[in-house]
Structure 1
């Protein structure tokens, strides 16, 4: 597993520790791998993992969203983040990360 995925899983779990998540989301970090986020927190995604929404971005964009330097909605509006699936789930997760 890539160091980027390992670090991102840890950062997501720290950021979402006190949150209640009632959906599943998959982050695809281009060139690095995938992360699944759900009621049990974040973990590296496995082949065949399904999610309500899949969000795809480059590693730099994902890191900027996690650090708070880039709002997820802005990333989507500027084409740095693509979203496939339930937009409501994407917006919920975006507000948790903002």
Structure 2
């Protein structure tokens, strides 16, 4: 999975979750950033490094596992493969949204 594929997947998942009302940053390290602002209508999805309510940091391969169901986000978090900065409650909402 590359950054464009991740962006498209995120865009599709966000479209299925009206009412999220948050700013989320997915930080994939050297592979780039996907920023989602669902406080706007329609939601803004881009590659800006903007302030967010929660930032999820992981490798693109780990993120791909979340989407296809082969990687549990909770286990990834406990193993240090996923780092969360900001609202843990929002991160848990995203967990349910992203799982494959």
Using a 3 Å threshold, how does the CA distance of structure 1 residues 92 and 23 change in structure 2: closer, same or farther?
Answer: same
State the shift of 1:38 in Å: 2.9
Give the equivalent residue in structure 2 for 1:60.
Answer: 61
Q: Deviation of residue 10 (structure 1)?
A: 0.5
Give 4+ residue runs of structure 1 displaced > 2 Å after superposition: 40-45
- For 1:24, the equivalent position in structure 2 comes to 23
Indicate how the Cα distance of structure 1 residues 42 and 64 shifts in structure 2: closer, same or farther if over 3 A, else same: farther
SS at match of 1:25: strand
Partner SS state of residue 31, structure 1: helix
Q: CA RMSD in A?
A: 1.7
Residues 50, 74 of structure 1: alpha-carbon distance in 2 compared, 3 angstrom cutoff: same
Q: Which runs of 5+ in 2 are unaligned?
A: none
Task: Looking at secondary structure, tell me which structure has more strand per residue.
Answer: 1
Q: What residue is the counterpart of 2:96 in the other structure?
A: 95
Equivalent in the alignment of 1:74: 75
Partners of 1:41 and 1:66 lie apart in 2 by 20
TM-score computed with the length of structure 2 as normaliser: 0.83
TM-score, with structure 1 as normaliser: 0.84
Which residue of structure 2 aligns with residue 12 of structure 1?
Answer: 10
Q: Retained in 2: the 8 A contact 1:68–1:97? A: no
Give the count of matched residue pairs.
95
